Amino acid sequence: MESIIKGKPVADKISENLIKEVEELKAKGINPKLSIVRVGAKGGDLAYERGALKRCEKIGIITEVKEFPESITQEEYINELKKLNEDSSTHGILCFRPLPKHLSEEQIKYVISPEKDVDCFSPVNAAKVMEGDKSGYPPCTPTAVVEILKHYDVELSGKKVAVLGRSMVVGKPAAMLLLNENATVTICHSRTKDLATVTSEADVLVAAVGRARMVKENFVKEGAVVIDVGINVDEDGKLCGDVDTDAVKDKVSMITPVPAGVGSVTTSVLAKHIVKACKMQNNA
């Protein structure tokens, strides 16, 4: 019964539109640019960075990577970030998080310019997600979730949506973005009682728990749409999502795969945010 809904067509559609927008900007002498700020060289950061650089290149967005050693001090990091805030050739800044423990995210998140903060590090952008203010930059992954649902014409208004996970990176903002689409949203987490009963009432289930194949057949409603945000490595070293796809596939109507699902849309959303930031900063 299931239909696998891949991320690539969604990412390609977003990219196609952006290529045109970037061409128009370049014709006016405006060159959109992303600056990535990375401390150390964690595997996950490098994998995401490669994807982001490739996506930006395809769209025509200039990129630079500011790589710093783990020994960077709080003051040095803040100074580097302030330089990027002030550099008018940079329109979007992506700071890889979590930062090493000796750097205070609580302080640094107030330093990044909200106008250049393309992945919702700044509390100003987090507040805009809460307010449903579309002038800001919600985090790329939950935005990718909404883009996928819209691309595949999944009705959200008035529908029951369960979001499994309440992190500031995925779960909470995903819930707010879906609420902004007029869904009736339930947020589930590690203390939720009778979890499977709650999630199995949902028309749309978004899984962002970080637990390999935790979502089984009894977690989903017949005909539900399932968006699997999880990126996990199972005991055999295989990449998998939070949903046990084999176990639920005969029950759901649509499900995103892992890999090739949400992850592939995230970098397109990042590019969309950079172009939007560039336009706003140039009144273009």
Q: Name the residues that contact ligand NDP, by CB under 6 A.
A: 141, 164-167, 169-171, 188-192, 195, 208-211, 229-232, 262-263, 266
- Which tokens go with 53? 């650089």
Cα–Cα distance for residue pair 192/204, rounded to 1 Å: 18
The backbone torsions φ and ψ at residue 181, rounded to the nearest 5 degrees and listed phi first, read -90, 10
Q: Does 165 show up as a binding residue in the annotation?
A: yes
Q: Residue 259 Cβ, how far from ligand NDP at the closest point, in Å?
A: 9
Of 25 and 139, CB closest to ligand NDP? 139
Q: Residue 260 Cβ, how far from ligand NDP at the closest point, in Å?
A: 11
Q: Does 166 show up as a binding residue in the annotation?
A: yes
Of 138 and 171, CB closest to ligand NDP? 171
Q: Residue 76 Cβ, how far from ligand NDP at the closest point, in Å?
A: 27
Are 25 and 280 in contact, with CB atoms under 8 Å apart?
no
Of 185 and 231, CB closest to ligand NDP? 231
Residue nearest to ligand NDP (CB): 167
Cα–Cα distance for residue pair 121/112, rounded to 1 Å: 8
Q: Residue 273 Cβ, how far from ligand NDP at the closest point, in Å?
A: 14
Of 164 and 277, CB closest to ligand NDP? 164
Closest listed residue to residue 98, CA positions, set 145, 56, 143, 44:
44
Q: Residue 48 Cβ, how far from ligand NDP at the closest point, in Å?
A: 8
Q: Does 167 show up as a binding residue in the annotation?
A: yes
Cα–Cα distance for residue pair 145/151, rounded to 1 Å: 10
C-alpha separations of 46 from 53, 67, 105, 119, 266 in Å: 10, 11, 20, 16, 15
Are 23 and 60 in contact, with CB atoms under 8 Å apart?
yes
Of 62 and 196, CB closest to ligand NDP? 196
* Residue type at position 117: D
Helix H or strand E encompassing 271 = helix 262-282
Q: Residue 111 Cβ, how far from ligand NDP at the closest point, in Å?
A: 22
Q: Three-class SS of residue 261?
A: coil
Of 92 and 230, CB closest to ligand NDP? 230
Q: What is the DSSP string of 118-169?
A: TTS-SHHHHHHHHHT-TTS---HHHHHHHHHHHHTT---TT-EEEEE---TT
Angle between helix 8-27 and 262-282 (nearest 10): 20
Binding-site annotation: residue ranges for NADP(+): 165-167, 231
